[in-house]
Amino acid sequence: MVVTPTWVGFEQGPIRPPSEATSLLIRLNRNCPWNKCTFCPVYKGTRFSLRDVDDILEEIDMMAQMADAVRSLSWKLGFGGEVNRRVAEAVFSGALGATEQVKYIAFWLYHGGASAFLQDANSMVMKPADMIRVLEHLKKTFPDIERITTYARSATVARMTTDELVGIRNAGLTRVHIGLESGSDEVLSLVRKGTTQKQQIEGGRKVVEAGLELSEYIMPGLGGRRLTTEHARETALSLSAINPHFIRLRSFHAHRIMPIYEDVLSGDFELLTDDETIDEIRRIIEDLDGIESYIASDHILNLLEEVEGRLPEEKEGILAVIDRYRDMDDDDRLLFRIGRRAGFLRRTGDLLVPEHRERALRVKQRLTESDDADCDDAVRGLMNGYI
């Protein structure tokens, strides 16, 4: 008879950045302290709370016990503590019990066990001393962790002192993810972001000055058709003033579970088409000036995954990717959009593969079977599954 441990378990929040897919998730608070952004559906109807630091430290210790159990299993299987595919498969088959959380720890170790992400939204609202205590315990408990990251609001870090941010960096935090979304005060007000361009710039600069890596997320299309020019111009201006390490694209898509969807239905917010969103992205990138950021299109909601590279040296190549798409004829652009939104095309060149083109044509036929079918609406509907 195999006796498996009884685990108490640990909390996990609902989201993390795509770049943290293989990171250990540590929940410092529950939900979002602002929770008013009209484009965000994640925490609506929930109450924000800070977690007790001692509870967080106990959960980190529990994670360490699970990690030790996984490594012990590796020794028993003859792999000398290495968490390889065989070890991970054994855990997922129930070798350490049916608990999903120990499987999660095995998954993390299998992917290197070198990164952690602090949840939920805006962990930086914690008292700096409390965050430092958590970070120091995490680093002591898992000395092999090389990267620790978290979400933050620009308004929060703008209120912090540089010394506080440096202290948090020295305790182990390496990267901050901030949702800039837009640099336009009018767009920020429209979507109830709760911050201003001035705060966005001040907060971003403080993070960089403190020696932390900074990922700024922007949302092409968030200003709708009315504010597209201002949204592009002021977003580029803000990013140029901050010079973040990463600029990550998150193209706006309106879903019925978002508060902003009511404005779409009423006609107060007019959505951009995919092509108009691509044009807006081009204007933003073209206007970026004097910075050395890395542009990443690392989300399925972005039409062009290939819009990626280092500024300034790869700027022309990034713009060329956009131009190649815009130079496609109308039918091919539609087929690519269908294939991308259906999830089987990643790059514009994929459409040159005969089987991919045939598949896109079949999906298009299904989408337009009804006489009154609107192909744009049908393609947009394919995106709902990614929210």
pLDDT at 121 over 80: yes
Calpha distance 257→278 (Å, rounded): 24
pLDDT band at 18 (very low <50, low <70, confident <90, very high): confident
- Residues forming beta bridges with residue 246, ordered by sequence position: 215, 294
Q: What is the pTM of this model?
A: 0.92
With b for 16 or more beta-carbon neighbours within 10 A and e for fewer, the 122-142 pattern comes to bbbbbebeebbbbbebbbeeb
- Residues forming beta bridges with residue 168, ordered by sequence position: none
pLDDT at 300 over 70: yes
264-279 average pLDDT score = 95
Calpha distance 249→307 (Å, rounded): 9
Q: How many CB atoms lie within 10 A of CB 362?
A: 11
What is the DSSP pairing of strand 29-30 with strand 49-50?
A: antiparallel
Which candidate, 148, 243, 171, 145, places its Cα nearest to that of 200?
A: 243
Q: How far is CA 83 from the centre of its chain?
A: 27
pLDDT of amino acid 5: 64
| Percentage with pLDDT > 90 across the chain | 88
pLDDT of amino acid 372: 57
242-268 average pLDDT score = 95
Query: Running DSSP on this structure, what letter comes out for residue 43?
Result: S
72-82 average pLDDT score = 97
Sketch out the chain's domains with CATH numbers. Answer: 18-329 (3.80.30.20), 330-387 (no CATH)
Which candidate, 279, 286, 254, places its Cα nearest to that of 269?
A: 254
77-92 average pLDDT score = 96
Question: Mean pLDDT, the chain, as a whole number?
Answer: 94
- Residues forming beta bridges with residue 316, ordered by sequence position: none
pLDDT band at 61 (very low <50, low <70, confident <90, very high): very high
pLDDT band at 1 (very low <50, low <70, confident <90, very high): very low
**Residue 200 · residue 180 · CB < 8 Å:** yes
pLDDT in tens, 306-341: 999 999 999 999 999 999 999 999 999 999 999 999
Give the 3-state secondary structure of residue 247. strand
| Percentage with pLDDT > 70 across the chain | 97
pLDDT in tens, 347-367: 999 999 999 999 999 998 888
**Residue 276 · residue 337 · CB < 8 Å:** no
pLDDT band at 371 (very low <50, low <70, confident <90, very high): low
Q: Which residues contact 259 (CB under 8 A, 6 or more apart)?
A: 38, 39, 41, 44
Sheet bearing 147-152, strands edge to edge:
24-27, 115-119, 147-152, 175-181, 213-218, 246-249, 294-296, 309-310
pLDDT at 370 over 70: no
What is the DSSP pairing of strand 309-310 with strand 294-296?
A: antiparallel
205-214 average pLDDT score = 98
